[in-house]
Amino acid sequence: MNNSIVKYSVLILALAFLQVIIFNNVLFNGYINPLIYLLFVFVYPIRENKTNLLLLSFGLGIVIDFFSNSGGSNAASIVLIAYLRLPLLRIIQSNKEFDYLLFNVRKLNLLQLIIYVFTLTFIHHMLLFYLEYYTLKGFGYILLKSFYSSLLSSLILFLTLVLFVKTKQS
Amino acid sequence: MQHILSFLFKNKFFILFLFLEIVALSLTIQSHSYHRSKFINSANVITGGIYDNFNHLDHYLNLKTFNEQLAKENTTLKNKLSELLSKDNQTSVSRIDSLKYNAKYKYINAHIIKNEYFKSNNRLTINKGVKDGVTSELGVVSSKGIVGIVTNTSAHYAVVMPVINENSRINAKFLHNNHFGTLTWNGEDYNTVQLEDLPIQTKVKVGDTIITGGKSTIFPEGILIGRVKDFKLKNNKYDKINITLFNDMSALYHINIIKNLDKKEILELENE
């Protein structure tokens, strides 16, 4: 178990580094900024310890917050989707028996995977932008910004999952 | 007791979730109040150091633009200097020959190592800190005009709250008359700020130049801010006046921090 914590801590540092140094400098249309550090929530295996998932996600969010002076808004958002991950998967997989031990994101079919990735990304972006703006005044603007940003973020996340996560696990 | 314990144990995942959310949210709320975001900010050694290192590449690629900007600034400064020198000769007042004696402001040169202009609660990180004489509540300008105010400092880095931050409130006035208002930002366009609380008798035209008002100890009077873009009247009062900044907030690099040498004296007098 300790081994897996070390392994995922390295992943967290790598994701935080990529996000802060590279992806925070990528801007489409002046305000759409892809957030790729969410990948952690998608690749962390279902069968691993759930408590560690929350703690590690919180750590990752705080690291991102340290770099972007955003208090704890990234941490709050990523902890929320880490918590919602399992219930959402249950809903998406409603017709099937849910197998904790063998489950892998690639077991989902294409449509399910898209819904899964986009829903979590959208929830994350909504909460994050709301906490950043800290007012309900520009709610329409926040909604629109979250929608476009999560389109881009989830596209990148989706491609990464399809290309780099192994189909079969031994 | 046992019931409570077993309840807690059963719901430990949910309780941990709640606990982490509360911690994160309280940090967020703290970061939104001016001056209290002491704990999590990018002025510490690790984050500041990483930004500083990766900033070198970005800087190298933009050298040409920066050189042009600096050359232009040199020319304007030389012009001003020659103007001053000629004035000095005309008015034959004897002056004590000491730079320190007349200087009211000291400028500290620095550059920006992080800029997230696309966020609504954004901050800039700069590469000078307490060891270079930077303290909080100092004004920051670039060669084209106003940038923001220093909020947090560490030994070698400092965090600046730019004018395009929703907590930013800066005293500003028109170049052609002395009516002043408050400069704020509505969180939308990063090159447009808003002027508020302007008295109704002020005559506003599109294209009017806005400068700092000098009503605080942070900025001296007359630092360029921007031009009036458009404005609306509402209930016989000026609704927010949109102002296009002279600075391109997305392409800042070299900046100057202004230190008011009389600040202590002024504050002491005001607090008496």
Q: Tell me what the mean pLDDT of segment B147-156 comes to.
A: 90
Note whether residue A150 is domain-resident. yes
Measured CA to CA in angstroms, residue A2 lies from A9, A48, A154 at distances of: 11, 11, 30
Same domain, yes or no: B64 and B100: yes
* B207 and B228 Cβ atoms separated by less than 8 Å: yes
Domain, as residue range, for B240: 170-247
CA distance A73 to A77: 6
Paired residues of B108 in beta bridges: B257
Same domain, yes or no: B124 and B258: yes
Q: What is the pLDDT of residue A79?
A: 93
| Residues of chain A neighbouring B158 (CB-CB closer than 8 A) | none
Mutation choice for A interface testing from B21, B194, B240 by most A CBs within 10 A? B21
Q: B243 versus A103: which is more confidently predicted?
A: B243
Answer whether residue B19 shows pLDDT above 60.
yes
Q: Pick from A51, A17, A55: which is nearest to A37 by CA?
A: A17
Answer whether residue B101 shows pLDDT above 50.
no
| Owner of token pair 């917050």 | A65
Does residue A87 sit at the B interface (CB-CB below 8 Å)? Answer: no
Residue of B nearest to A67 (CA): B42
Q: What is the pLDDT of residue B244?
A: 92
- Restricting to B residues 185-214, those with a Cβ less than 8 Å away from any Cβ of A are 187-188, 190
Q: A98 versus B248: which is more confidently predicted?
A: B248
Mutation choice for A interface testing from B20, B26, B61 by most A CBs within 10 A? B20
Same domain, yes or no: B156 and B203: no
Q: Tell me what the mean pLDDT of segment A152-166 comes to.
A: 86
CATH number of domain containing B83: 2.40.10.340
Answer whether residue B262 shows pLDDT above 60.
yes
Q: What are phi and psi of A159, to 5 degrees?
A: -65, -40
Per DSSP, the three-state class of A137 is coil
Answer whether residue A119 shows pLDDT above 70.
yes
Note whether residue B35 is domain-resident. no
Nearest to A50 among B13, B32, B123 (CB): B13
Mutation choice for B interface testing from A26, A65, A70 by most B CBs within 10 A? A70
Q: Tell me what the mean pLDDT of segment A70-84 comes to.
A: 90
| pLDDT interval class at A155 (50, 70, 90) | very high
CATH number of domain containing A39: 1.10.1760.20
Q: What is the pLDDT of residue A82?
A: 92
Domain count, chain B: 2
Q: What is the pLDDT of residue B41?
A: 63
Nearest to A70 among B25, B31, B125 (CB): B31
| Residues of chain B neighbouring A134 (CB-CB closer than 8 A) | 28, 32, 120-121, 166
Answer whether residue A96 shows pLDDT above 70.
no
Same domain, yes or no: B235 and B101: no
Q: A8 versus A25: which is more confidently predicted?
A: A8
Yes or no, beta carbons of B120 and A133 under 8 Å apart: yes
Answer whether residue B35 shows pLDDT above 60.
no
Same domain, yes or no: B55 and B149: yes
Proportion of chain A above pLDDT 90, given as a percent: 28
pLDDT tens figures, B47-67: 777 777 777 777 777 788 888
Q: Pick from B39, B154, B17, B18: which is nearest to A72 by CA?
A: B39
* B184 and B169 Cβ atoms separated by less than 8 Å: yes
Note whether residue A73 is domain-resident. yes
Same domain, yes or no: B126 and B255: yes
Same domain, yes or no: B73 and B153: yes
| Owner of token pair 């004004």 | B139
Note whether residue B270 is domain-resident. no
Domain count, chain A: 1
Note whether residue A160 is domain-resident. yes
Q: Tell me what the mean pLDDT of segment A133-155 comes to.
A: 85
Nearest to B32 among A31, A33, A71 (CB): A71
- Cα A170 to chain centroid distance, Å, stands at 25
| DSSP sequence for chain B | -HHHHHHHHHTHHHHHHHHHHHHHHHHHHHHHSTT---SS-TTSHHHHHHHHHHHHHHHHHTHHHHHHHHHHHHHHHHHHHHHHHHHHHHS-------HHHH--EEEEEEEEEEE-TTSTT--EEES--GGGT--SS-EEEETTEEEEEEEEE-SS-EEEEESSSTT--EEEEESSS--EEEEE--SS-TTEEEEE---TT----TT-EEEE---SSSS-TT-EEEEEEE--EETTEE-PEEEEESS-GGG--EEEEEEETTHHHHHHHHH-
Answer whether residue A38 shows pLDDT above 50.
yes
CA distance A12 to A56: 8
Q: What is the pLDDT of residue A110?
A: 84
Q: What is the pLDDT of residue B263?
A: 83
Note whether residue A43 is domain-resident. yes
Q: Tell me what the mean pLDDT of segment A31-54 comes to.
A: 86
CB count, 10 Å around CB of B242?
A: 20
CA distance A38 to A40: 5
Burial status of residue B100 (CB atoms within 10 A of its CB: 0-12, 13-18, 19 or more): exposed
Does residue B69 sit at the A interface (CB-CB below 8 Å)? Answer: no
Does residue A26 sit at the B interface (CB-CB below 8 Å)? Answer: no
Note whether residue A170 is domain-resident. no
Nearest to A54 among B20, B28, B187 (CB): B20
CATH number of domain containing B206: 2.40.10.350
Note whether residue A80 is domain-resident. yes
Q: What is the pLDDT of residue A101?
A: 61
Q: B202 versus B44: which is more confidently predicted?
A: B202
Residue of A nearest to B152 (CA): A69
| Owner of token pair 């990304």 | A121
pLDDT tens figures, B190-207: 889 998 888 888 888 888
Same domain, yes or no: B157 and B208: no
Does residue A148 sit at the B interface (CB-CB below 8 Å)? Answer: no
Mutation choice for B interface testing from A20, A48, A69, A129 by most B CBs within 10 A? A69
Lookup: tokens for A22: 């590279």
| pLDDT interval class at A76 (50, 70, 90) | very high
Yes or no, beta carbons of A67 and B166 under 8 Å apart: no
Same domain, yes or no: B203 and B236: yes
Does residue B30 sit at the A interface (CB-CB below 8 Å)? Answer: yes
Does residue A73 sit at the B interface (CB-CB below 8 Å)? Answer: yes
Note whether residue A169 is domain-resident. no
Domain, as residue range, for A84: 2-164
Proportion of chain A above pLDDT 70, given as a percent: 88
Note whether residue B271 is domain-resident. no
Same domain, yes or no: B151 and B50: yes
Q: Tell me what the mean pLDDT of segment A51-77 comes to.
A: 89
Note whether residue B184 is domain-resident. yes
Mean pLDDT computed over every residue of chain A = 84
Does residue A132 sit at the B interface (CB-CB below 8 Å)? Answer: yes
The mean-pLDDT minimum among B23-27, B153-157, B167-171, B233-237 falls in B233-237
Answer whether residue A122 shows pLDDT above 90.
yes
Q: Pick from B114, B159, B112: which is nearest to B137 by CA?
A: B159
| pLDDT interval class at B99 (50, 70, 90) | very low
Same domain, yes or no: B70 and B148: yes
Same domain, yes or no: B127 and B229: no
CA distance B171 to B162: 14
Answer whether residue B95 shows pLDDT above 60.
no
Q: What is the pLDDT of residue B96?
A: 46
Proportion of chain B above pLDDT 90, given as a percent: 9
Q: A53 versus A103: which is more confidently predicted?
A: A53
| pLDDT interval class at B79 (50, 70, 90) | confident
Per DSSP, the three-state class of A32 is strand
Q: Tell me what the mean pLDDT of segment B253-266 comes to.
A: 85
CA distance B191 to B212: 17
The mean-pLDDT minimum among A28-37, A79-88, A96-105, B242-251 falls in A96-105
Does residue B47 sit at the A interface (CB-CB below 8 Å)? Answer: yes
Mean pLDDT computed over every residue of chain B = 81
> What's the start-to-end Cα distance of chain B, in Å?
59
Q: What is the pLDDT of residue A75?
A: 93
